[in-house]
Structure 1
Amino acid sequence: MNHTRVLIYTGGELSPTFLDEIQEGDFIIGADRGSLFLIDHGIRPDLSVGDFDSIPSNQLEHIRAMSGKVIACDPIDKNLTDTELAFELALEQSPASIMILGATGTRLDHTLANIHMLIRGLQHHIPCSILDKNNYIMLTGSNCIVEDRGFTYVSLLPLTTEVTGIYLEGFQYPLQNATLRLGQSLGISNKLSGEKGTVRIEGGLLLIIQSKDR
Structure 2
Amino acid sequence: MKFLLIEDNDELAHAICARMQFDGHVIDHASRIQDAFAFGETGDYDLILLDIMLPDGDGRTFLKRHRAGNKDTPVIVLTARSQVSDRISMLDLGADDYVTKPFDHEELQARCRAVLRRKAGAAQTTTRLGNVAFDPVAGSLTIDGQVISLRNRELRLLELLINAPGQIFPKHKLFDRLFSYDEDVSENAIEVYIGRLRKHLEPSDLRITTLRGLGYRLDHG
Q: TM-score, normalised by structure 1?
A: 0.38
Higher relative contact order (CA 8 A, sep 6+): 1
Higher strand share: 1
